């Protein structure tokens, strides 16, 4: 165990988590209040000089039990706050007792330091492979009067700029408690004005993870989802940034919630310009009954610190999510180039149509065929059959197995679409189990895409779906599954819960989905699983724990994808971001772009095709064959190299990003210009992260560049002609 990572100075009451890059410091203030001192670049030694400045402030009352008028929780930077005890800022916890009182007063109780990192039962989280790669500090707080305990977990890794945090509530009173709010973390930053900006990733269906940066000012700002899932509308990620921080410079703190349900990121600039950040399960429509002796574990938050801008923060998360959140046989595997029949056929397919697509796919060198929505129940459009996971014999006359066999005979892998959490009213499942549908008794539930949620918090519901899926998986050889979810939660109610427990429904739903995914991924470890929710509605760190890749967006337009993929890259690694070449005019925007542009953009993610291959011209077939060869060569670099953003599509007419191999032996530069001009400016881009003294050869032209000239001087964009132009340059170290 690496004892050096965490120290506790008993005399001064100081906890210091430290590795070669970062420090996290806390202090036991008077009366056992756990104060936050610092999170940021490594501090070699902290000698206890920066204590809470005492000052008597009007209307900021005193710490209960303390007569000192200059000591107030209302302004004290704390590690974890509660409602009550005169801290009027956003509380991290609200715990109600049977008498209705909902204030607590949390004080230090004890601590523990252990090797490695605890597993969070039933929840996704970052993990360790070796015990000695991380250490965990647990600080236990206790209510001043009652046996209510909060364990605050802090894990620090040896080699990562990351602190992983979560909280466990333990009820050792002899009464039942109701948790009205329990955050995964709080961060109180005293240095007023240091992190003036917040970056978030809001969006919409077919417009996910747009980059939004704004100034923080007095009052409360929330970034949240109330939709029961992560949502397209606000990703479960934010970054705090210094005012002048950018992609390469300045200090940045990235905050990832490892959770797939209702989340909130609350920021409050208080009366003296201090910043409080509270992150966790959204308290909206949430409560949790905690009986005596029971515990509640929150989801985990991952905090990354960067002293060199957003790119370094992203790099920290890319490595962490890829190496210590994603799991399974495909974690580091090269992901197959697939063709998906959704935009090719939608619901209108037969064995013959699919065989024709598969024939073409095999000729083109595509590696996997995915049969999307419409193969089950009696589903010919989106208003029926969800929940009926048996094959639609009326549609696939030769059967589903014949499809799989045909695909495999052509030496392709076979993938299949499921939407396991849903039920259609027009289904056998609904006929047999109408109560499985999540709804409030006596009220007609709100429809969305003519479908409803199953109450996944119920064991019998999960078991039913698992059994049905297993019947398919045990009879048909399936190499890949796309796990979809195509509506937001409403009518949030569970007939399995007591009236006072209804606030648990949404979280129990997510826990149920996690359990089902854990069961299935464990039972079928060879399958490559891809997350999806109407595109990228559940693209989050929690899902990555079960499924190493996710469909980034139902928007396949190459130009809109520039922003979607750029925004997604801020928080997620390329190996997780799937991207398809589709037909033109694009089905979502009507835009026409060249096959080259569509290919170049999709090749910047996990490449796939989603168009009717039987409609291609010979020239298009040749071009796709070529794209596939190029991508197969680039694949390890793109999927597992370091990704660096160079020019943002949110700021102008051009975009550039770069993939650099870990050993710097090769790099791939992507450049795009959106709109043409008759009198264009000279666009240029400087590369980053190449080895200064290596010589690199442009694989297309043979031109030789030194790493330093690419880093320092850079290259011009090509003299593009026309709208929507892109270019890839593959540099390889000479002599490789």
Residues catalogued as catalytic:
484, 554
User: Is 518 strand, coil or helix?
Assistant: helix
**Per CB under 6 A, which region of 34-42, 528-536, 612-620, 722-730 contacts ligand GLA?**
528-536
Judged by CB under 6 A, the chain residues 316 through 355 that form the site for ligand GLA are 342
Residue number with CB closer to ligand GLA (82 or 424): 424
CB nearer to ligand GLA: pick between 232 and 276: 232
Kindly state the smallest distance separating residue 89's Cβ from ligand GLA, in Å.
40
Stretch of residues binding ligand GLA (CB under 6 A), selected from 93-101, 532-540, 637-645, 697-705: 532-540
**Gap between the Cα atoms of 735 and 726, Å rounded:** 28
3-state secondary structure string across 147-178: CEEEEEEEEEECCCCEEEEEEEEEECCCCCEE
Q: Which 8-state DSSP code applies to residue 546? A: T
Quick check: 643 binds ligand GLA (CB under 6 A)?
no
Residues in the chain: 736
Exactly one of 288, 296, 545, 551 binds ligand GLA (CB under 6 A); that residue is 551
- Which residue number, 81 or 451, has a Cβ lying nearer to ligand GLA? 451
Token pair belonging to 216: 């923080």
Q: Based on CB atoms, which residue is closest to ligand GLA, 588 or 593?
A: 588
- What is the Cα–Cα distance from 599 to 596, expressed in whole angstroms? 5
Helix (H, G, I), strand (E, B) or coil at 206: coil
How far apart, in whole angstroms, are the C-alpha atoms of residue 442 and residue 655? 53
Distance of CA 189 to the CA centre of its chain: 25
Site string for ligand GLA, 361-400 (x = CB under 6 A): -----------xx--------x------------------
> Could you tell me the smallest distance in angstroms from the CB atom of residue 382 to ligand GLA?
6
Residue 126 or 453 having the CB closest to ligand GLA: 453
Q: List Cα–Cα distances, 657 to 93, 311, 647, 665, in angstroms.
A: 41, 11, 7, 17
Q: How far apart are alpha carbons 497 and 317 in whole angstroms?
A: 38
Q: Which is nearer to ligand GLA, 250 or 537 (CB)?
A: 537
**Nearest distance, CB of residue 537 and ligand GLA, angstroms:** 8
User: Cα separations (Å) of 499 from 99, 154, 286, 493, 651?
Assistant: 18, 35, 13, 9, 50
By the rule CB under 6 A, 532 interacts with ligand GLA: yes
Pairing of the two strands 93-96 and 177-189: antiparallel
| Sign of the torsion angle spanned by Cα atoms 655, 661, 664, 667 | negative
Q: How far apart are CA 482 and CA 177, in angstroms?
A: 40
The region of 262-270, 505-513, 527-535, 692-700 touching ligand GLA under the rule CB under 6 A is: 527-535
Q: Is 464 in the site for ligand GLA (CB under 6 A)?
A: no
Q: Give least dist CB 374 to ligand GLA, A.
A: 8
Structure tokens given for 176: 């039942």
Helix (H) or strand (E) holding 540: none
Q: Which is nearer to ligand GLA, 46 or 551 (CB)?
A: 551
Closer residue to ligand GLA in complex, CB, 280/415: 415
Stretch that binds ligand GLA, among 26-34, 242-250, 280-288, 530-538 (CB under 6 A): 530-538
Q: Minimum distance between the CB of residue 484 and ligand GLA, rounded to whole angstroms?
A: 5
| CA–CA gap between residue 163 and residue 154 (Å, rounded) | 6
| Least spacing, CB of residue 588 vs ligand GLA, in Å | 11
Q: Which of 535, 542, 567, 641 binds ligand GLA (CB under 6 A)?
A: 535
Give the binding range for ligand GLA (CB under 6 A) out of 120-128, 135-143, 236-244, 531-539: 531-539
**In the window 478-497, what residues touch ligand GLA (CB under 6 A)?**
484, 486
CA distances from 574 to 104, 145, 334, 424 (A): 44, 50, 12, 34
Single out the residue of 283, 530, 554, 666 in contact with ligand GLA (rule: CB under 6 A).
554
**Pair type for strands 480-483 and 413-418:** parallel
181 vs 379 by CB, closer to ligand GLA: 379
Taking CB under 6 A as the criterion, the residue among 309, 377, 387, 534 binding ligand GLA is 534
Interface pick for ligand GLA out of 127, 417, 436, 631 (rule CB under 6 A): 417
Burial 586-614 (b: 16+ CB within 10 A, else e): bbbbeeebbbbbbbbbbbbbbbbbbbbbe
For the bound state, the minimum distance from the C-beta of residue 605 to ligand GLA, rounded and expressed in Å, comes to 14
The H-or-E segment that residue 407 falls in is: helix 400-409
In the beta sheet, which residues pair with residue 106?
143
Residue 361's alpha-carbon distances to 244, 347, 413, 538, in angstroms, are 49, 19, 11, 29
What are the tokens at 619?
């020239």
Query: Is 416 strand, coil or helix?
Result: strand
Q: How far is the CB of 573 from ligand GLA (least distance, A)?
A: 20
- Binding piece for ligand GLA, criterion CB under 6 A, among 290-298, 350-358, 529-537, 666-674: 529-537
Q: Which residue's C-beta sits nearest to ligand GLA?
A: 373
Residues that bind ligand GLA (CB under 6 A): 342, 372-373, 382, 417, 484, 486, 532, 534-535, 551, 554
């Amino acid at each position: 165990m690496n004892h050096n990572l965490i120290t506790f100075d008993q005399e001064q009451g100081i906890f210091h988590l430290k590795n070669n890059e970062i420090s996290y410091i806390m202090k036991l203030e008077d009366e056992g209040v756990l104060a936050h001192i610092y999170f940021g670049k490594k501090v070699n030694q902290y000698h206890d000089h920066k204590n809470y400045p005492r000052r008597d402030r009007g209307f900021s009352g005193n710490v209960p039990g303390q007569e000192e008028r200059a000591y107030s929780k209302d302004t004290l930077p704390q590690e974890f706050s509660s409602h009550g005890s005169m801290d009027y800022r956003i509380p991290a916890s609200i715990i109600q007792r049977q008498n209705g009182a909902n204030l607590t007063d949390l004080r230090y109780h004890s601590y523990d330091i252990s090797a490695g990192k605890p597993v969070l039962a039933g929840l996704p989280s970052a993990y360790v492979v070796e015990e000695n790669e991380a250490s965990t500090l647990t600080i236990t707080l206790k209510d001043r009067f009652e046996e209510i305990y909060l364990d605050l977990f802090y894990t620090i890794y040896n080699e990562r700029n990351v602190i992983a945090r979560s909280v466990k509530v333990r009820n050792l009173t002899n009464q039942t408690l109701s948790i009205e709010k329990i955050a995964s973390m709080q961060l109180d930053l005293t240095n007023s004005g240091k992190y003036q900006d917040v970056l978030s990733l809001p969006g919409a269906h077919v417009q996910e993870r747009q980059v939004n940066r704004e100034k923080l000012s007095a009052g409360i700002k929330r970034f949240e989802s109330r939709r029961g899932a992560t949502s397209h509308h606000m990703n479960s990620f934010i970054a705090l940034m210094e005012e002048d921080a950018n992609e390469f410079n300045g200090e940045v703190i990235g905050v990832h919630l490892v959770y797939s349900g209702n989340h909130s990121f609350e920021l409050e600039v208080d009366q003296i310009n201090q910043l409080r950040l509270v992150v966790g399960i959204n308290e909206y429509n949430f409560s949790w009954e905690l009986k005596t002796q029971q515990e509640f574990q929150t989801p985990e938050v991952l905090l990354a610190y960067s002293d060199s801008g957003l790119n370094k923060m992203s790099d920290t998360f890319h490595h962490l999510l890829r190496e210590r959140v994603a799991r399974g046989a495909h974690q580091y595997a090269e992901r197959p180039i697939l063709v998906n029949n959704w935009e090719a056929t939608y619901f209108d397919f037969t064995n013959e149509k699919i065989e024709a697509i598969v024939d073409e796919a095999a000729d083109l060198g595509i590696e996997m065929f995915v049969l999307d929505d419409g193969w089950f129940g009696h589903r010919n459009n989106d208003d029926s059959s969800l929940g009926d996971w048996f094959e639609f014999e009326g549609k696939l006359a030769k059967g589903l197995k014949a499809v799989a066999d045909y695909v495999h005979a052509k030496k392709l892998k076979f993938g299949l679409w499921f939407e396991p959490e849903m039920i259609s009213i027009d289904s056998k499942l609904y006929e047999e189990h109408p109560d499985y549908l999540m709804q409030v008794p006596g009220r007609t539930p709100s429809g969305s895409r003519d479908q409803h949620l199953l109450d996944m918090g119920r064991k019998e519901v999960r078991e039913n779906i698992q059994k049905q899926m297993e019947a398919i998986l045990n009879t048909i050889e399936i190499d890949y599954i796309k796990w979809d979810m195509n509506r937001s939660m409403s009518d949030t109610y569970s007939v399995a819960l007591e009236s006072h427990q209804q606030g648990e429904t949404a979280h129990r739903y997510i826990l149920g989905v996690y359990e089902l995914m854990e069961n299935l991924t464990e039972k079928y470890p060879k399958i490559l699983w891809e997350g999806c929710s109407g595109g990228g509605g559940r693209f989050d760190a929690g899902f990555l724990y079960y499924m190493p890749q996710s469909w980034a967006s139902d928007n396949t337009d190459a130009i809109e994808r520039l922003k979607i993929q750029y925004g997604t890259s801020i928080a997620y690694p390329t190996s997780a971001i799937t991207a398809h070449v589709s037909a033109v005019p694009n089905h979502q925007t009507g835009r026409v772009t060249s096959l080259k542009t569509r290919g170049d953009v999709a090749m910047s993610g996990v490449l796939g095709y989603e168009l009717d291959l039987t409609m291609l011209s010979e020239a298009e077939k040749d071009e796709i064959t070529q794209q596939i060869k190029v991508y197969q060569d680039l694949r390890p670099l793109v999927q597992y190299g370091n990704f660096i953003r160079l020019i943002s599509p949110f700021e102008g007419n051009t975009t550039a990003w770069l993939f650099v191999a870990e050993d710097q032996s090769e790099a791939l530069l992507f450049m795009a210009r959106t709109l043409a001009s008759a009198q264009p400016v000279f666009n240029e881009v400087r590369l980053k992260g190449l080895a200064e003294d290596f010589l690199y050869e442009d694989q297309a032209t043979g031109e030789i560049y030194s790493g330093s000239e690419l880093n320092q001087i850079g290259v011009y964009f090509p003299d593009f002609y026309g709208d929507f132009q892109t270019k890839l340059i593959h540099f390889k170290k000479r002599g490789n």
